[in-house]
Structure 1
Amino acid sequence: MARPFLPPRWFVRSAWKTHKVVLRATNDRGLRPPTPGRCGIMRLITTGRRSGEPRAVVLCYIEDGDRLVTLAMNGWDPADPAWWLNLKARPEATVDLATGSRPVLAAQATGDERERLWTALHDYSGYGDLDAFAMRRGRETSVVLLAPGHD
């Protein structure tokens, strides 16, 4: 079986950085909720684990009840993305959505819940061929839950 096409990591990272700039320039008009077959776009603001400074990243997400679900995939690189390392150190964060901002508390999905959400993510564009890309990482990709936090 042929390996699925995966753009170079520099391209994936550049695309997300460009999206971040576009959001800033358009007053967040690129943020969107998920719709059937299409992942939503959110901005996640974490606290840097070393710097203590706010760090923002643009991510695809789906909803699971009142929780948001995303993948800690780092452009399918084997290393965890910095935002996920930040959340592991300090799980309190903020998300900017098309409907406004809200505090969240991050956790990692495990066991049957992870499998259920991993399967659900297959129904959304924006992630590509999840299983084939995940195999290229050489280890399990974390499914990240962002539950409503406290103000």
Structure 2
Amino acid sequence: MTSSDTAPAAHEPRLPPRWFIRTAWVVHRALYTVSGGRVGLRAPSPTVYGMMRLHTTGRLSGEARVAIVAYIEDGPDLVTLAMNGWDDPPPAWWLNLRAGPAASVDLPDGPRDVIAREATGVERERLWALWRTLDGGEDLDAHAARRSRPTPVVVLSPADAR
């Protein structure tokens, strides 16, 4: 683990029960679908992360998969954390991106094709620190410490930039 994942917290932040987190994901996707996309996505602000729909291809099934994930912007790149609600296993969308990094996202201002990669080293530390500046970011390290492995910081670069 890197130092950014293991810094001691002043308090132990509370996480809702796993059933609540999973139910919230289902409800969020349903609101997006029922509203025709008018509810469920938002652009990030300097203090709050945004929400986007991430489209991947299943690494085993080859079928289209969709997840709604939090993100911040770093220049033209979108940055998210592969945290699976702070549960230990990596989220399926991250495993899919590792197998096939080409993906697309739906943002409040429209769709975008992206290429995924994991941030490492100094870049990872810088991006992790950006996440810490958001509302609730003071608990980031304590939540990450619940996992047996470092939380991947995932960079989604515009596909046309390559």
Q: Tell me if TM exceeds 0.5.
A: yes
**Residue among 56, 64, 81 paired with 1:71:** 81
Partner of residue 80, structure 1: 90
Partner of residue 23, structure 2: 14
Taking the TM superposition and a 5 Å limit, the aligned residue runs for 1:14-93 are 14-29=23-38, 30-93=40-103
Q: Which one-letter code corresponds to 1:97 in the other structure?
A: L
Q: 1:36 Cα deviation (Å)?
A: 1.6
C-alpha contact (below 8 Å) 1:60/1:126 kept by paired residues:
no
What's the RMSD between the two structures over aligned residues? 1.4
Q: 1:10 Cα deviation (Å)?
A: 2.1
C-alpha contact (below 8 Å) 1:104/1:149 kept by paired residues:
yes
TM-score, length-normalised on structure 2?
Answer: 0.88
Partner of residue 104, structure 2: 94
Alignment deviations for residues 123-144 of structure 1 (CA, whole Å, 9 cap, x no partner)? 2236671100000112210000
Alignment deviations for residues 57-100 of structure 1 (CA, whole Å, 9 cap, x no partner)? 00110000000000000010111000000000000001000000
**Residue among 5, 12, 20 paired with 2:14:** 5
Q: 1:92 to 1:127 in 2, by over 3 A?
A: farther
TM-score, length-normalised on structure 1?
Answer: 0.94
Task: Report sequence identity in percent.
Answer: 56
Partner of residue 149, structure 2: 139
Partner of residue 116, structure 2: 106
Unaligned runs of 5+ in 1: none
Alignment deviations for residues 6-57 of structure 1 (CA, whole Å, 9 cap, x no partner)? 1122211221221111011112222111012110010000000011111000
Unaligned runs of 5+ in 2: 1-9
The ranges of structure 1 where at least 4 consecutive aligned residues each deviate by more than 6 angstroms after the TM superposition are: none
